[in-house]
Structure 1
Amino acid sequence: METQLTMWAWQALYLFEALVLSTSIGMERQAKHKDAGTRTHALVGVGAALFVIIGEYGFMNVLSTNVKIDPSRIAAQIVSGISFIGAGIVFTQRSHVHGLTTAASIWMTAAIGTACGAGMFVPALVCTILYFIAVRLLPFLVRLVVPDFSSDDILRLQYRDGQGILRSILSVCTNHDISVEGFSTRKSDDMDNEPSQRGHIVSANLEIRGRDSKALISDLSSIDGVISVTRINNID
Structure 2
Amino acid sequence: MHFFTGSVGTQAGLLLLSFVLCGIIGLERQYRQKSSGFRTHVLVGMGACTFTLIGAFGFADFNLGQINHDPFRIAAQIVAGIGFLGAGVIFTRRDIVVGLTTAATVWVTAAVGMACGAGMGGLAVMLTALHLFCLIALTPLIDKLPTADRHSLLELTYEDGHGILREIVEIASEQEFATQVLSTSKRTSEEGSAVVDMQMRFTGKNPLDVLMDQLQGVSGIVSLHVAHEDDHERD
TM-score normalised by the shorter chain: which range applies? Answer: 0.3 to 0.5
Q: TM-score, normalization: structure 1?
A: 0.40
